[in-house]
Structure 1
Amino acid sequence: MLKKLAIPSLLLAIVSLGFTINHSDLADDWGFFGHKRINRLSIFTLPPSLFGFYKKNVEYITEHAVDPDKRRYATVHEGVRHYIDLDHWGEYPYDNVPRTFSDAVRKYLKLSHISPAGDTTQMDLIYSQDKPDLLEVKYRRKTFNISQFQFDKFYKTKIFNNQAYYEGPWTFPVSELQNNWKMDFQVPEGSLHFEDGFSEYGILPYNMLDYQNKLTAAFVAMNPESILRISADFGHYIGDAHVPLHTTSNYNGQLTNQLGIHAFWESRIPELLADKQWDFFVGQADYIEEPASYFWDIVLASNRLVDSVLSVEKRLSNEFPEDSQFCQDLRNGNPVRTQCADYTAAFDEAMGGMVEDRMCASILSIGSCWYTAWVDAGRPDLSELYLEGATQVEELEIEPSVTPFRAHEN
């Protein structure tokens, strides 16, 4: 639930007039235009008590909007933070997906037995409503029970804590777990191997909640470096959540012979139309009463638009002359093949302005999340808080050997 802020519209208009946006500093990065623009415009939604701090650091917030994408190849854990393949788990509203990250990872843990000789046997963990105190485990043709309480204790201490989670997969000797779990069946000697079977399909809504809490903590600590870094990153993830193709396994049309539709929707349309046709005066930031539900509402709303995005593009590609769909354009002085301007405008119109709507929703959402973190931190006074040299863009060291779970568009 959202609660409206009381900010006079006149004040917001005056602030906007005195704060111009230079398109030239956004145009050089292919695919990054939208993220930078969204972060920058989110500042306009803030009340005066927050606006001053963010305005002083506007270049940092703008340039660092793309840092999460730069990190995708620096750590294997980054890519999954940008999306969630909801359709992998069934159908809308995906009630079989737990709304808390810990429960989701626990529910979809993969378990296998490894014998001393190295032979691996898949085991199934089954949660039964008929036996809430017990967890059923299938091993070959046998089914046995373990204590839910003991398994939860093991899971929270050995697997899902801040340190251990990023060290998975996890392997333990059978002898170590046999007695602790109070198993009613003797598992053959060897080891039990656990793998996260959930995260590879995306953790976007959980990641946004994590960043909401991180930003609140940064405001409490009055740490300008952390506030700005987290705010910029947070804005990127919120922007991703508003993109329908960040919520489906068919994220780039690869399953429907529509390769490239992701960048077409998320990058090409905004680059051609945002400055010329769109109105980004989205109003005032709101206080978010229940962030966890709010983030899930965002990704569910995006997911409801997936079929429309795909079907409209498919129809249009069949109706438009093939030689009018792609044109040569210059990017940093180099020719590139991309969607023609008329074809792009037709796609945007056929979707009923969906991209503009989602971009505007992103702007308001980011401002609301920043504002909520500040309120939850006790509304600290930021008037004297400023990060010197904050406009320098972070350079990340990339290890080419590190790859994300899947290819990822901006």
Structure 2
Amino acid sequence: MLRLNSDDLTNYICAMKIYFNRFFVFICCAIVIVSLCSWGFYAHQTATQLAVYKLPKCVRLFFFSNMDTIAITSIRPDKRRYIDRNEGPKHFIDIENYGNGAMLYMPRDVQPAVEKYTWDTLKKYGFVPYQVLIEYDSLVNALKRSNADSIVFYAVDLAHYIEDACVPLHTTNNYDGQLTGQKGLHALWESTIPELELSHYNLHSKHKAAYIKNKGETIWTAVRRAHALLPEMFEKEKEVAKNFPDSSKYEERMYYGRKTKVYTDAFAKQYAAALTTTVNDQLNYSANLVADFWYSAWVDAGKPNLKHLYKFNRSERKGLRKELRDYRKNDLLQDGLLRAHKED
């Protein structure tokens, strides 16, 4: 039998305390991320996949050859939040905390913003539009080097942050409705509703990737568009809530062994109906924007020839044609071609 002296026992107890404290923090972070993850894993994967179809052929073939990786790993930045405390602020911007008129007057580029506010302030209140520009530069550099793995890596991360910038509740300090008595609104709008309603969405748009001349202004336009949707989001929730007592408005679900209060599916469906096409529109808008940024990065990298970075056999080319037809007919989900649906 192992015997421990008093010093060994003290060290052992301290080590166990540290272990359990870290484990507790991990579980808490996991619960927060599940409830506040941007767009929800399902919608992120869908938007990123849709962006590929909007690219011109010279770029699309490379992205399609990596479609599974691109779509499924589009949730990677959210998962990084489990282990990296610096990851969180990259996903949002609490615009109210930057002062009156900040939406219109904040610098459009990264360095001027750092000089005006400091990195500490940006990390405190969020800086998603600037993170988009940082990831964009990384993607351009990867394309210039024709490094396939790096291109996929930075394209995926860039897509994720662009999609986050298109989520209304990622642009406000009332990010979960907690300031207006509507706690849980975050997961309701961007996770529960898309998962419940996706079969009714139009996932096709006629948009074709176009070059973005002013990247800073473009991503800030997306942030302003998302922020402008907030009043309706909050008001519609209050209107629908009039028809639901708390017993049918909320339910408890288990996340990582802990009970969490969430909106019921019945409430979510009525709230989605009240919002009409808002969530669908933002999903498509974010996919269009991702395609534009990807294409622009390729142009700014000097339009490198990507043909040597992928191989297509006859079956794969046939698969691409099938997906493009289904995309145009809005049949991707029906035919089981959504990567997010496959993973489920």
What range describes the TM-score normalised by the shorter chain of this pair? 0.7 to 0.9
Paired residue for 2:202?
Answer: 279
Cα deviation 1:254-306 (Å, max 9, x = unaligned): 111111100000100000001x2001112211211111110111111111111
Q: 1:314 to 1:202 in 2, by over 3 A?
A: same
2:113 aligned partner: 104
1:108-119 alignment runs, 5 A limit:
108-109=117-118
Greater share of residues in strand? 1
**Structure 1: how far apart are the matches of 2:242 and 2:283?**
27
Tell me if 1:67 matches 2:76.
Answer: yes
C-alpha displacement at 1:328, in angstroms? 7.2
AA of the residue aligned to 2:235: S
Stretches of structure 2 that go unaligned for 5 or more consecutive residues are 1-36, 312-344
Check conservation: 2:51, 2:288, Cα contact below 8 A. Answer: yes
TM-aligned CA deviation for residue 378 of structure 1: 1.7
Task: After TM superposition, give the deviation of residue 327 of structure 1 in Å.
Answer: 5.1
Offset at residue 93 of structure 1 (A): 5.8
The 1:364/1:95 distance shift into structure 2, 3 A limit, reads: closer
Q: Distance in 1 between matches of 2:104 and 2:293?
A: 25
d(CA) in 1 for partners of 2:196, 2:94: 28
User: In 2, Cα distance between the equivalents of 1:339 and 1:361?
Assistant: 26
1:353-400 CA deviation, whole Å, 9 max, x = no partner? 21111001011111111111111112211122039xxxxxxxxxxxxx
CA contact (8 A) 2:70 2:152 kept: yes
Counterpart position of 1:374: 298
- Structure 1 92/342 Cα, relative in aligned 2: closer, same or farther at 3 Å? farther
Q: Distance in 2 between matches of 1:53 and 1:260?
A: 39
Alignment of 1:146-225 (within 5 A): 196-225=120-149
CA distance in structure 1 between the partners assigned to 2:204 and 2:254 by the alignment: 30
Matched, 1:247 2:171: yes
Deviation by residue 1:134-192 (Cα, 9 ceiling, x = unmatched): xxxxxxxxxxxxxxxxxxxxxxxxxxxxxxx7xxxxxxxxxxxxxxxxxxxxxxxxxxx
5+ residue gaps, structure 1, are 1-28, 110-164, 166-195, 388-410
CA contact (8 A) 2:184 2:262 kept: no
Is 1:341 matched up with 2:272?
no
How far off its partner does 1:249 sit?
Answer: 0.5
Alpha-carbon distance in structure 1 between the residues aligned to 2:93 and 2:87: 13
> 1:182-218 CA distances to partner (integer Å, 9 max, x unpaired)?
xxxxxxxxxxxxxx23331011111111111111111
Report the Cα distance in structure 1 between the residues aligned to 2:241 and 2:129, rounded to whole angstroms: 32
Specify the code of the residue in structure 2 equivalent to 1:313: E
Tell me the equivalent position of 1:82. 91
Aligned AA (1:282): S
Give the match for residue 103 of structure 2: 94
2:280 alignment partner AA: E
**How far apart, in 1, do the equivalents of 2:142 and 2:121 lie?**
32
Compared CA separation, residues 335 and 94, structure 1 to 2 (3 A): closer
Cα separation, 2, equivalents of 1:97 and 1:322: 41
Distance 2:288 2:204 in 1: 9
- Aligned-pair identity in percent equals 35
Q: What is the root-mean-square deviation of aligned Cα atoms in Å?
A: 2.7
- The residue that corresponds to 1:350 in the other structure is 274
Is 2:48 aligned against 1:56? Answer: no
2:284 match = 360
Query: 1:321-364: CA deviations, max 9, x gaps?
Result: 433323578999x9986433332122112123211110010111
For these two proteins, the number of residue pairs brought into alignment is: 273
Matched residues in 1 for 2:169 and 2:238: separation?
Answer: 15
Q: CA deviation at 1:56?
A: 1.1
Which amino acid in 1 is paired with 2:103?
Y
Distance 2:43 2:101 in 1: 28
TM-score with structure 1 setting the length: 0.62
Match status 1:44 vs 2:53: yes
* Offset at residue 102 of structure 1 (A): 2.4
Q: What is the CA distance between 1:96 and its match in structure 2?
A: 4.3
**Counterpart in 2 of 1:238?**
162
Note the alpha carbon deviations across 1:32-58, whole angstroms, 9 max, x for none. 111111111211111111111111111
Whole-angstrom distance in 2 between the partners of 1:377 and 1:247: 30
Cross-structure match for 2:194: 270
Give the corresponding residue for 1:403: none
Letter in 1 for 2:145: A
